[in-house]
Chain A
Amino acid sequence: MKVRDVVEQLGWRVLGGAGGLDAEVNGGYVADLLSCVMAGAEAGDLWLTLQTHANIVAVASLLGVCAIVVAEGANVPEGTLEKAEEQGMPVLSSPDPVYESVAQLISLGV
């Protein structure tokens, strides 16, 4: 399943980094502590978080996650989206809390 498929099926918004929508989704990881993400997220994971500052794109790119999902429809600063465009790292927005967002992903088979 591609990031694009997740977006289409769940109706999440693509805030930036649409260049990376064809990446394969291998799994998921949830954390707001960047060191946890660094330690735990695998390449190809969807990373669900409430963090929105520009550094999340750096972390995501370094790990090779397939996309960042910002839950609760949180507002993402312009600087973060610029970085996301630059790196082709999709930033998706889910209107639901992390728990519900994960449940939806699991129902898709992620």
Chain B
Amino acid sequence: MKRQFALLGSMGRGGALTKIHELVREMPVSRVMTASVFTLPPDATMQQLKELLREHRISGLPVVEDQALVGIVSIEDLIHALEVQRLDAPIREFMTSSNLVTAHAQESVMEALRRFEKTGIGRMPVLNARHELVGMVTRGDITLALLDALQELYTEAEAYQARPQRFFDALESESTSLQLRYRVEKGDFARGGDASAKIKRALLQIGASPQLARRVAIATYEAEVNLIIHTHNGGMILADIQPNEITIVAQDSGPGIADVGLARQPGWSTATPEVREMGFGAGMGLTNIERCTDKLSIWSAVGVGTRVLMTFSVSPQEIGEQDAG
């Protein structure tokens, strides 16, 4: 089935874009960097470097002396040493030690990305405020972290969409509700369920969870079918959708129920054999309604009519987490 989230869907995406922007500007490099980094002192030999690079399948590492970054040595420097057959030489002779491009642990990934862009390098040592080496960061680290954060955002956005409250948040009034009215004709089995389907669609459109929409749809359908089967002249279905509560009223002008208590008993029905043949009149309608509603009240008087009032509270489970408000 199609899920219709047009209204809140667009709101959710707009929010996500702002959030991505915030993320890039606010996420510190320390959150995306690799903190456990292989280092070598400047006195280590190029031979030692070769073994470390091969063993860990890395292409370069920072050179550290007394916790301070003194250079960067890469696989290219190693090739250079191999060419001149100087694997026994100390790293300090081959490493890059001037104009080192570094990132700071507390700067934003946006600034780090700009530096990657400007210099064309693939990785940067990350220094803390005391200029000590605390990690390495690559473009890939940033991309992965942003993707993770995006995934979180989408999950959040989905929960966001499951909140009828959001639809109402944009509207200011003392008390806001959305009212839908449907006329149900007696004996109109062909259109039976139309009102319920429209109410369900409306609920999904304003962001109700599929579970809530289903609960309301089942109860409304049963009430709608009762109007079709049992009334003299059909009736009305009125839906009143509020941020924390949905009420559905099904009312008609007769014949009325003689004994409401009896009618509420599972299996009790006055439906004709013809109607039963169609699969209706199992005497389970009111039982189903009771199961789906949080409150059900039935008023009826023989010769006057019946009014079925169904209340659905919009529970926190059905509207997602409350905190991100």
Contacts from A to B (Cβ < 8 Å): 23, 32-36, 38-39, 43, 49, 51, 53-56, 58-59, 61-64, 79
Nearest 5 A/B pairs, CB to CB: A58-B193, A35-B284, A33-B282, A34-B279, A64-B1
Residues of B within 8 Å of A53, CB to CB, are: 189, 278-279
> Other CB < 8 Å A-B pairs besides A61-B197, A62-B217, 6 of them?
A23-B1, A32-B279, A33-B282, A43-B210, A59-B193, A62-B221
Known: A43-B214, A61-B197, A62-B217. A35 touches B282 (CB 8 A): yes
Residues of B within 8 Å of A51, CB to CB, are: 278-279
Are the CB atoms of B194 and A58 closer together than 8 Å? yes
Are the CB atoms of A61 and B193 closer together than 8 Å? yes
Are the CB atoms of A35 and B189 closer together than 8 Å? no
Tell me the complex Cα distance, A2–B213, Å: 24
For the complex formed, measure the closest distance between the CB of B285 and the CB atoms of chain A, giving whole angstroms.
Answer: 6
For window 184-236 of B, CB contacts with A under 8 Å fall at: 189-190, 192-194, 196-197, 200, 210, 214, 217-218, 221-222, 225
> Whose C-beta in chain A lies nearest to the C-beta of B284?
A35
Tell me the complex Cα distance, A79–B1, Å: 21
Which size bracket describes the interface of B in this complex? 20 to 34
Known: A33-B284, A34-B279, A38-B288. A58 touches B1 (CB 8 A): no
Are the CB atoms of B288 and A33 closer together than 8 Å? no
Residues of B within 8 Å of A49, CB to CB, are: 279
Tell me the complex Cα distance, A43–B209, Å: 13
B131 sits at the interface (CB 8 A): no
Are the CB atoms of B284 and A36 closer together than 8 Å? yes
Contacts from B to A (Cβ < 8 Å): 1, 189-190, 192-194, 196-197, 200, 210, 214, 217-218, 221-222, 225, 278-280, 282-285, 287-288, 291
Which of A33, A59, A64, A79 is in CB contact (< 8 Å) with B190?
Answer: A79
Residues of B within 8 Å of A62, CB to CB, are: 193, 196-197, 200, 214, 217-218, 221
Are the CB atoms of A36 and B282 closer together than 8 Å? yes
- A sample of 8 inter-chain contacts (CB < 8 A) reads A34-B282, A35-B280, A35-B287, A53-B278, A53-B279, A59-B221, A61-B193, A64-B210
Residues of A within 8 Å of B280, CB to CB, are: 34-35
Are the CB atoms of B279 and A54 closer together than 8 Å? no
Which of A23, A33, A36, A55 is in CB contact (< 8 Å) with B193?
Answer: A55
Known: A23-B1, A59-B221, A63-B214. A35 touches B285 (CB 8 A): yes
Residues of A within 8 Å of B283, CB to CB, are: 35
Which of B189, B193, B194 has most A Cβ within 10 Å?
B193
Are the CB atoms of A64 and B214 closer together than 8 Å? yes
Residues of B within 8 Å of A34, CB to CB, are: 225, 278-280, 282
Are the CB atoms of A33 and B222 closer together than 8 Å? no
> Whose C-beta in chain A lies nearest to the C-beta of B199?
A62
Are the CB atoms of B189 and A55 closer together than 8 Å? yes
For the complex formed, measure the closest distance between the CB of A90 and the CB atoms of chain B, giving whole angstroms.
Answer: 12
Residues of A within 8 Å of B194, CB to CB, are: 58
Which of B189, B196, B197, B221 has most A Cβ within 10 Å?
B221
Tell me the complex Cα distance, A58–B217, Å: 11
Tell me the complex Cα distance, A74–B210, Å: 32
Are the CB atoms of B222 and A58 closer together than 8 Å? no
Tell me the complex Cα distance, A55–B282, Å: 15
Which of A51, A54, A55 has most B Cβ within 10 Å?
A55
Are the CB atoms of A58 and B221 closer together than 8 Å? yes
Tell me the complex Cα distance, A32–B307, Å: 28
Residues of A within 8 Å of B278, CB to CB, are: 34, 51, 53, 55
Residues of B within 8 Å of A23, CB to CB, are: 1
Tell me the complex Cα distance, A64–B189, Å: 20
